[in-house]
Structure 1
């Protein structure tokens, strides 16, 4: 096996055996030494393969006991929809509630951050114009499922109650509701999804491995005049969630 992806091949093989029922739910797996010998790899490779299946939800490690087969977690479905985004309250909170999950998130905002060239182009402002930059980490039942980096021009929200997304009475209500509170109607959104591989920073935050498949979504909200009022880069781990798009047909 090529050295750089040997653990992925071992993980694929073990996953297939688990799905075929070779070890039922609750069964203890053989040691990593046995798998290393069986697949002609080092024990560290076998360990990485088993750790990957733990991340994916196929296995669980029990301290001092071993590694066991668990009931696989269902992938969350994250629905991208203008109708859902327009609902009162946080769209993420509503989405997780619909799936029986407890939603939470951490955020860090910084005002007066100069817009880089690519962000300025997306927001139709000049490079260097001040923005509010917010980093989000979204969790479902305490498990990280989505990252988001949001940019809002201070020319739009500066000096209003909506200036800092997660502060004050508008905390947690979502972009659409916050904008509506200051007289701005978000009329449309443009989303561009792209497959990618997780960087070190993304892997650390999402609890996955470097190089794992992710979906990156470039999203921009527009008001009724076509002015961009917010743009964000959203990151979802493929092994945890699937992206679905919902369209209204009139």
Structure 2
């Protein structure tokens, strides 16, 4: 039988040592150079092994300090459905909207408007158990909502009702939502906002809502830290 890649063997050995209690929660591991010497492998091998355990949530890297055993943290579940998914019970959010923001090229493409067309951009920070659990930046074309009471998503008569109900209130029926999930690593800015470590695993979700006539009416970029949330897609199959 073929051997596993060397970094997987080192990762498994380190995993066993951590779970066996050789290093306590919050304790720093030996340097990667020392681990490489101990296992008789190159530093690039221990680097890949440690990176894998960081992605798994067993370890955490601290810039300029080293690698530590991470404290276990509870993960919430975000259920994505044909409606709107959220981080679960007990969640709240902080929100800030800006009107008349020119649509950047990628947003213009997603909303099928001209680059520079005025949009409302709304930034959300979702919080549960006093911790930030995910981020979202939503864009809506002002050509659709600008003259209506729902121009600012979290103000007015439809505050907190969500995109589907808000659009219905102005006679726009949502027919479908498209989500494109992409794995990524946290940038320094994302890590600071989410209270995680740069390089931690994230899921970026690009979501767009479409009306019954095919128009995109809202698009959002949702940033989900893997160590805080697991994503579950709930698919209704209907009857027939």
TM-score (norm 1): 0.72
What corresponds to 1:158 in structure 2?
146
Gapped runs of 5+ residues in structure 1?
1-9, 59-71, 86-90
- Partner residue in 1 for 2:192: 204
Residue from 29, 40, 49 that aligns with 2:67: 49
| 8 Å Cα contact 1:36-1:46 kept in structure 2 | no
Q: CA 1:155–1:36 in structure 2 vs 1: closer, same or farther (change >3 Å)?
A: same
Alpha-carbon distance change, 38 to 215 in structure 1, aligned in 2, over 3 angstroms: closer
Q: Which of 148, 162, 180 is residue 168 of structure 2 equivalent to?
A: 180
Q: In 2, are the aligned partners of 1:105 and 1:139 still within 8 Å (CA)?
A: yes
Aligned residue pairs, count: 203
Among candidates 114, 121, 124, match of residue 136 of structure 1: 124
Aligned residue number for residue 74 of structure 1: 74
Could you give the per-residue CA deviations for residues 154-193 of structure 1, whole angstroms, max 9, x where no partner exists? 0111121110011123222211121112121111011111
1:228 positional shift: 0.3
Partner of 1:96: 88
- Secondary structure, aligned partner of 1:170: coil
Partner of 1:245: 233
How far the C-alpha of 1:40 sits from its partner, in A, is 3.9
Hey, what's the Cα distance between the residues in 2 that align with 1:236 and 1:147? Answer: 7
Distance 1:109 1:30, change over 3 A: closer
Equivalent residue number for residue 93 of structure 2: 105
What RMSD over aligned residues (CA atoms) do the two structures have, in Å?
2.9
Secondary structure of 1:168's aligned partner: coil
Q: Is the 8 A contact 1:151 1:232 kept in 2?
A: yes
* Equivalent residues of 1:116, 1:127 under 8 A apart: yes
Conservation of the 8 A alpha-carbon contact between 2:18 and 2:24? no
Counterpart in the other structure of 2:59 = none
1:221 matched residue in structure 2: 209
Looking at secondary structure, tell me which structure has more helix per residue.
1
What stretches of structure 1 move > 3 A for 4+ residues in a row?
10-20, 27-32, 35-41, 44-48
